[in-house]
Amino acid sequence: MDAEVAGPDGEVSNAKLILFGGATALEGSQRPDGNAPASPGPASGTGIRLAGATSDVHILDVRTGRWERMQPQGEPPSPRAAHAAAAVGSMVVVQGGIGPAGLASEDLHVLDFTDFDRPRWHRVMVQGPGPSARYAHTLALVANRFLVAMGGNDGKATLSDAWALDTSDKPYQWSKIMDAGETPTARMYATAAARSDGLLLLCGGRDAEGTPLGDAYGLARHRDGRWEWAAAPGVMPTSRYQHGAVFVGARLHISGGAVGGGRMVDDAAATVVLDTAAGLWCTQSRASGAEGAEEWTRSRCRHAVAAVGSYVFIYGGLRGSTLLDDFLLADDSSGTELTICDPRSPAWRQWLDTAHGTGAAAAMLAEAAAEEAAAAAALGVRRVGAVEDLQCLDEELEVGNERMARTQLYHRAVVVAQEATGTLRGLVRQLSIDQFENESRRVSMGTDSVGKAQRTPLFERNVSEPGVHKLVLRELLVPRHWKPSEDRKFFLDAEQINDLCEAVERIFREEPSVLRLRAPVKLFGDLHGQFGDLMRLFEEYGTPSTAGDITYIDYLFLGDYVDRGAHSLETICLLLALKIEFPRSIHLIRGNHEAADINALFGFRLECIERLGDPNGIWAWTRINAMFNWLPLAASIEDRILCMHGGIGRSINRIEQIDALQRPLTMEDGGVVLMDLLWSDPTTNDGVEGVQPSPRGPGLVTFGPDRVKEFCKNNNLQMIVRAHECVMDGFERFAQGHLITLFSATNYCGTANNAGAILVLGRDLVMVPKLIHPLPPNEPRTPKSMGSGDEIDEEPPTPHPVTDTWMQVINEERPPTPPRGRPSKDAPNLAFFE
């Protein structure tokens, strides 16, 4: 009773649920609503009294339905029930509760499963004030970043406060969520569940007078740091407390609960659903005659509930004066009818395979586990391969009558260097920008309802429509687990690629030629089909998913998604799928290789033929290039930073010139403005001014620092960020820092030995460069535990050549432009198409 099922945790075939603590015996009044005494302690007065509580830890293997008791190392929390807990990646965080001796402390306890065979308890030090000692409160992880504690009882009164702890910000400290919007009343024994996009639902509970509540409130954090409460539409069909609640997609499943006076919710109303996408309360039918269906409809309170993928799990609780130890499971993958199954029966595996196909259900369970764990913030344990957000002081600049943050490059860069040998991986360093001279060269390749209520904006954060992009995201947005296919066959066919292009083209048609974006933004340079580098950047510095950081930061890609590398199809298809899934947060602009006459020569056309067959490959290649003609051409961030692929060249003096270009647009239609925008480069150094001929070939130019400064002044800009050129450190400054070149692919074409970088622009307009170094030749990417820092016991993926033979031939016949700052040994005309 009152135990906590938290999870999931584990790898692809190893999803786990964690059960901690709870009451093991009762004495005093045998009331099924479990009313706790007004002053908790050994002498309880009226109501139920805890005669036994535990701090045991049990693990459920979801695949087998077997429980195992574990004895973690370290000092465990005191025995307790009515506590709150949340899963944070490979950890479970426990806070508060009540035991036979009274209230538990307000300390945070972390159960760390980094090494699953040797779990360990940690006590986390949190600075400053926070939620006081309490029981019957809630704790939830919002968007795998913020721990939010709400309500409960401190032994004196029922509480209405809410606190948030940012797990990515050290030192850890609670911040009180100030009243904003329609704030909930004081309550205890409520539930809190977070939707995948960061919307938290506080539901039901018991108020200070002991009255059951049937309302629900949403809590969301805006990108500017504000928290906002909003009342959910309608009311719960039966008010209740001590119930369970968990999200499956956009549906909040609510099970069981008490209604006061020693009574529980009627069996007929035991399970209700709040569809947050439709804004309606409803009941959900259950498959008739299914094993366990009758037990699922019987009410209980103080039970534990969790979801893994589309599966809802219930354990234990209280029915009348009986403590339960049963374990129930329902599948909600259809969204209309629950299918019930007993996970401890011999038919568990057979049922899974029958319902979802052989092995498919296990993969679904594990996929959800991997996604949530991969992007979770690590609390109380050092993260290797990720760095906490750097805290930068705002510097302000007087502009007219306004005061605003001055755009600047942070004085240190974050570097992840992959080691070639041994078990050390993801070594994190911070290097001074002022001393950052081709640091990548130092790390050589050898070392590496009724009464319609109006929905509030919070409840309009809905998931995208189904489509091919969902398949792409499932297959490719797996940074820790992706590896190249052995037979090079692409998993989409030409018709599916066409569907993807049709869907994303509709979005591009509605966007201007120059995007207007707000900070924070994460910027990516050239990728050139090096999909493994994109996965490494997502792995190390955040993934664009609802389990990652997409709720809090936009992603901007600066072009050149295809050619040169061996996985252009993966790269462009994933970016298009992300754009469809998150159209307001993922932004793509055009590069010079997003043109048919160029990518016909530099690998993309050949890759489409090789991997899709002929003529399907040619048809898909043509369709993708038609979509390229609709890509936006530039992006302005906060009206202070202009982002483009190439540069301003000789012809671009005002942003309006770019805005005036009407899409769809071919290179011929765009004229000299489009040519300069996609092809021009800065001059070799700050000492070379004006407009000069480009070594890339006839008709192309370079532009000096004087042009950059004049352009920024005329357009009230502070900086230009562009891509287009390989630079040794992944980023390089020009024009005294008014222009930055960004390149995200490492060891370009297998010969440059350059680092790859992204720029993370915060709300304070401070840019932090974050780097990865090239992997040693033929070394496979070995998955590692995100958010924990330790290796996992997993067979490494099969080594795969960096490029295929045909790609090596192309890169030899048409050598890339040498990295910026290096003299070219090849004929310059060959670099024209680069």
The catalytic residues are: 593
3-state helix, strand, coil in the chain (%, to 5): 20, 30, 50
Handedness of CA 148, 586, 372, 170 (dihedral sign): negative
Handedness of CA 654, 660, 662, 663 (dihedral sign): positive
**Using CA atoms, how far apart are residues 768 and 408, in angstroms rounded to an integer?**
9
Q: What is the SS3 assignment for 708-772?
A: HHHHHHHCCCCEEEECCCCCCCCEEEECCCCEEEEECCCCHHHCCCCCEEEEEECCCCEEEEEEE
Place of tokens 């077997």: 66
Contact 767, 410 (CB under 8 A): yes
Q: What is the dihedral of CA 768, 774, 780, 786, to 10 degrees?
A: -10
Q: What are phi and psi of 611, to 5 degrees?
A: -95, -15
Q: Alpha carbon 121 to chain centroid distance?
A: 26
Query: Three-state DSSP class for 324?
Result: strand
Beta strand 514-517 pairing with 634-637: parallel
The candidate with the shortest Cα–Cα distance to 501, out of 643, 346, 619, is 619
Provide the β-strand partners of residue 247: 252
What Å distances lie between residue 199 and 8, 141, 726, CA to CA?
19, 10, 40
Q: Alpha carbon 750 to chain centroid distance?
A: 30
For residue 53 the two structure tokens come to 């509580």
**Using CA atoms, how far apart are residues 741 and 647, in angstroms rounded to an integer?**
10
Neighbours of 532 (CB within 10 A): 24
Contact 165, 196 (CB under 8 A): no
End-to-end CA distance of the chain: 65
For residue 82 the two structure tokens come to 């009515």
Q: What is the dihedral of CA 488, 489, 490, 493, to 10 degrees?
A: 160
**Using CA atoms, how far apart are residues 219 and 276, in angstroms rounded to an integer?**
13
Q: What is the SS3 assignment for 651-712?
A: CCCCHHHHHCCCCCCCHHHHHHHHHHHHHCEECCCCCCCCEEECCCCCCCEEECHHHHHHHH
**Using CA atoms, how far apart are residues 834 and 769, in angstroms rounded to an integer?**
25
Place of tokens 């965080």: 93
Helix (H) or strand (E) holding 280: strand 280-282
For residue 340 the two structure tokens come to 């019930």
Q: Annotate 381-406 with DSSP letters as a single string.
A: SPPSS--PPPP----EEEETTEEEEP
Whether the link from the prior residue into 8 is cis, omega within 30° of 0, is yes
The radius of gyration computed from the CA coordinates of the chain, to the nearest angstrom, equals 28
**Using CA atoms, how far apart are residues 426 and 424, in angstroms rounded to an integer?**
7
Q: Annotate 9-61 with DSSP letters as a single string.
A: ES-TT--EEEEEEEEEEEEES--TT-PPPSS-SSS--SSEEEEEEEEEEEEEE
**Using CA atoms, how far apart are residues 638 and 711, in angstroms rounded to an integer?**
17
Looking at residue 185, what DSSP letter applies?
P
Sorted by sequence, the CB contacts under 8 Å of residue 217 that are 6+ apart come out as 182, 183, 184, 201, 202, 203, 229, 230, 231, 232
